[in-house]
Amino acid sequence: MKRVMAAAFVLLFVVGMASVSFGARLKCEVTSVEGDKVMMTCEDADKLKAGDKLKISPPKGGAVEGC
């Protein structure tokens, strides 16, 4: 019985951590770059506030042609 309860708690912990790690996804367009500052225009920007930490991923490269 203890093993079943322990497995259930581990499962709940893993599911809870997975849901926390996936933040909101926003679609943004870079409007200007000045030194180390980047200005972006985002859809649904009302989800952000000053001081929020963001993880930005550059767009993936296009297809590579060749043989």
pTM over 0.75: no
* Residue 20, both tokens: 């926390």
pLDDT tens digit sequence for 19-60? 544 566 788 888 999 998 888 888 888 878 888 888 888 777
- Provide the 8-state DSSP code for 36: T
Alpha helix (H) residue ranges in the chain:
2-21
Rounded distance, CA 26 to CA 48, Å?
Answer: 10
